[in-house]
Structures are given as structure tokens and as C-alpha cells.
């Protein structure tokens, strides 16, 4: 198994058990990897891959939301961006994999932009905030 796959499997569990800031940031990195692959596949016309990777983006974002330290201001700033990524990925899921890739690429691109903004804020989380 690849490190990113293992990371995606382990970090949601750690989020519930008390993730560290490094765990949250690693989850953000994994989320960005899926977001980039999602849009890349959209450019190639692979709608099934868009739906799959968008689902993974949502899973990472939800795990980060569960693990965010409630008192850290950077975590609070990341919150609306994570929620937007989830919302846009829900739109992709509703469209499904039978639509034209261009139809799902628009919300997928918006999800990637939201994930990027969230990761910017997650990158500066303080260890003391967790």
C-alpha cells in the first residue's frame, strides 16, 4: 500500500482519537493530492475518477473537521473552506459518473480551490492549539 493510502486510512481514526497538528496537516496534504488528481482526471474526461477522488476529498475534509482544535484561529479560518469543499463534492456526487465530464469539472474545480485555501490555514496551525 502506498503511504498516501495508508495515511488516508489511518488519519480519520486518529482524528477521533485525538490527532496531532502534524496528523491534521498530513491529512490536508492527502486531501490536496486527491483534489489535484480529481481535476487532472476531469481534464482527461474520466468522470468516474472525478467522482471517486471527490469522494476522497470529502472524507479527508470530514476527518480534518473532526480533528480541528476548537481554539486555534487558523483552524477556525480553515473551517468554511473545508465545508465548501464538502459541499462542492456533494454536487459532484449528485451529478454522478454518467454526466459529461465538463458538468462535474466545475464543482470539482471549486472543491479543489476550497481545499487549497483550507490547507493554507492548516499549514500554520500551532502545536499548542491542539
Per-residue model confidence (pLDDT) at position 15: 41
Encode pLDDT of 81-122 as tens digits.
999 999 999 999 999 988 988 899 999 999 999 999 999 999
pLDDT for 29-40, tens place per residue? 999 999 999 999
- pTM, full prediction: 0.82
CB-CB contact of 27 with 7 (8 Å): yes
Residue 43: predicted pLDDT: 82
Would you say residue 127 has pLDDT above 70?
no
Question: Which residue shows C-alpha cell 480519520?
Answer: 12
Q: Tell me which DSSP letter residue 127 carries.
A: G
Which whole number is the average pLDDT over 62-72?
A: 92
Q: Give 11's pLDDT tier (boundaries 50, 70, 90).
A: very low
User: What are the structural domains, with CATH classification, of the chain?
Assistant: 21-129 (1.20.120.660)
C-alpha cell at 115: 481545499
**For 13-52, what is each residue's pLDDT tens digit?**
344 446 789 999 999 999 999 999 999 988 888 999 999 9
Phi, psi torsion values for 71, nearest 5 degrees = -100, -10
Amino acid at each position: 500500500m502506498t503511504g498516501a493510502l495508508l495515511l488516508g486510512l489511518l488519519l480519520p481514526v486518529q482524528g477521533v482519537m485525538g490527532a496531532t497538528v502534524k496528523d491534521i496537516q498530513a491529512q490536508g496534504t492527502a486531501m490536496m493530492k486527491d483534489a489535484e488528481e480529481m481535476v487532472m482526471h476531469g481534464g482527461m474526461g474520466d468522470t468516474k475518477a472525478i467522482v471517486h477522488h471527490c469522494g476522497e476529498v470529502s472524507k479527508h475534509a470530514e476527518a480534518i473537521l473532526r480533528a480541528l482544535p476548537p481554539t486555534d484561529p487558523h483552524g477556525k479560518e480553515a473551517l468554511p473552506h473545508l465545508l465548501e469543499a464538502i459541499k462542492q463534492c456533494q454536487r459532484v456526487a449528485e451529478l454522478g459518473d454518467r454526466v459529461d465530464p465538463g458538468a462535474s469539472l466545475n464543482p470539482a474545480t471549486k472543491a479543489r480551490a476550497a481545499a487549497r485555501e483550507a490547507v493554507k490555514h492548516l499549514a500554520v496551525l500551532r502545536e499548542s492549539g491542539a
